[in-house]
A = this chain, B = another copy of it.
Amino acid sequence: MIMSRIEARRDEDTVAAGPLVDRLLGGLPAEAVLTDPDVTASYAHDMASFCPAGSPAVVVLPRTVEQVQHVMRTATELRVPVVPQGARTGLSGAANATDGCVVLSLTKMDRILEIDPVNRIAVVEPGVINAALSRAVAEHGLAYPPDPSSWEMCTIGGNIGTASGGLCCVKYGVTAEYVLGLDVVLADGRLLTTGRRTVKGVAGYDLTRLFVGSEGSLGIVVRAVLALRPKPPEQLVLAAEFASGAAASDAVCRIMAGGHVPSLLELMDRTTVKAVNDMARMGLPESTEALLLAAFDTTDPAADLAALGALCEEAGATQVVPAEDAAESEMLLQARRMSLVALEAVKGTTMIDDVCVPRSRLGELIEGVERISEKHGLTIGVVAHAGDGNTHPTVCFDASDPDESRRARESFDEIMALGLELGGTITGEHGVGVLKKEWLAREAGPVSMEMQRAVKRAFDPLDILNPGKLF
């Protein structure tokens, strides 16, 4: 429907690049308006596979709130779709351009406006890199916990748009819990301020949380008040090897039922362990069918790790290796960090799923993925934020082979179906974008979809904000 509307507009010639660019230049400096097709094409898509991307009419790089307001007013006037973008590290196509759209890149709005240690907040522009914020607040003894794998590249605006997770979530939660207030430019260019600068606040509807994870479809976040935490002590890591994914999953259940709060609890299945072993000669024994990595950042992490290690042994761990210090911890985490690169090396291309199940169903998910992998004759490795039940089954395939690509997409969908069957969700932290639109409808059901569309209409009646994403 959206495509046909765009085509209809084209027939009427209302969005020919000329008038659009002229109007944009009325409120933006020339260097902030990119029209060279070779350049604009480089803003066409994020890092998701299998997601269609159109050609932007123009890319704008505003530096101020007023400039963003000008862009949105122009877009509303001319009924041109606007696709907001951060660093385009997303994995669901939520930042992919649509034909004839304005790509609104927030990357130049990258100032940290305030760091306040007494109130434990930071005020930032959306283009601030996650790692830059982490380093800046660390100088004040503070931490901004959400740590997606792309943290050295991704922006806070993108993190807010996709409600990002990361490795820390098992102890510290997700992005939604760290966003206290927002300045948002609405579809028609008006500026909305939501939320608060205080720790608590319940004045009116929680519009702040509504924007978190809305993938740029309700408004453009131009400023965020973020909650910070005291920087925790350095974490100490333990690796535990298991003879089956089921045993490792059992260990996860014992750890969580036992009341432990690790700062990290990651799982790699046998396919992933093998891929990492092949790539880096980590020297993991061939008998290792699953590897669990756990960490504590408590005052006595060695004691906590000892208790956790004992639970791993009860669950049948073949070997438990606690790190002695930060350097050893870092070495153990290397295996986890290399996982996706190692899996990518298997066939050249990967498609990373993001199914989150109740953690008690983790073992069933891993077994189910094995069955799907065998059925399609494909390599699928499972890397998981095990403590959260958030798995990333990663389908390895040769993108130049159409049949293998088709099977990859099919297995990807079957994994989501399995996730729903196990009481889970199709996306724990990567979002819906264009990749999982049909699956959102399947998970949420017709009443929810109707209410979500009603919310969308309330904020964006002309459907110009990232149209065609989510639904």
- Which residues of A line the B interface, CB within 8 A? 116-121, 141, 162-163, 165, 169-170, 173-174, 176-177, 186, 190-194, 196-207, 209-210, 212-214, 218, 229-231, 253, 256-257, 259-261, 298-300, 356-360, 385, 387-390, 423-432, 436, 439-440, 443-445, 447-449, 451-452, 454-459, 470-471
Contact = CB atoms under 8 A, between A and B. Distances in A.
Contact of A425 (B191, B198, B209): B198
A448 B459 CA distance: 11
A469 to B, nearest CB: 11
B448 A454 contact: no
Nearest to A259: B230
Contact of A261 (B199, B230, B457): B230
A260 B214 CA distance: 34
Nearest to A470: B204
Which of A200, A202, A230 has the most chain B CB atoms inside 10 A of its CB?
A202
B213 A205 contact: yes
Contact of A451 (B169, B214, B358, B458): B458
A256 B227 CA distance: 13
Contacts of A186: 447, 451
Contacts of A197: 358, 423-424
A2 B67 CA distance: 40
A163 B458 contact: no
B458 A455 contact: yes
Contacts of A385: 200
B388 A430 contact: no
Contacts of A425: 196, 198, 200-203
Contact of A198 (B116, B200, B206, B388): B388
B169 A200 contact: yes
Contacts of A454: 458-459
11 contacts: A119-B389, A174-B202, A176-B206, A176-B209, A193-B445, A193-B447, A201-B425, A204-B452, A206-B210, A207-B448, A455-B455
Q: Which 4 A-B pairs have the closest CB atoms?
A: A230-B259, A209-B209, A454-B458, A200-B428
Contact of A457 (B387, B439, B458): B458
Contacts of A193: 444-445, 447-448
A425 B202 CA distance: 8
Contacts of A359: 118-119, 199
A358 to B, nearest CB: 5
A349 B425 CA distance: 50
Contacts of A173: 177
B256 A118 contact: yes
A347 B214 CA distance: 50
A399 to B, nearest CB: 26
Contacts of A201: 356, 425, 427-428
A459 to B, nearest CB: 7
A140 to B, nearest CB: 9
A457 B170 CA distance: 37
A453 to B, nearest CB: 9
A7 to B, nearest CB: 27
Nearest to A92: B202
A394 B89 CA distance: 50
Contacts of A471: 204
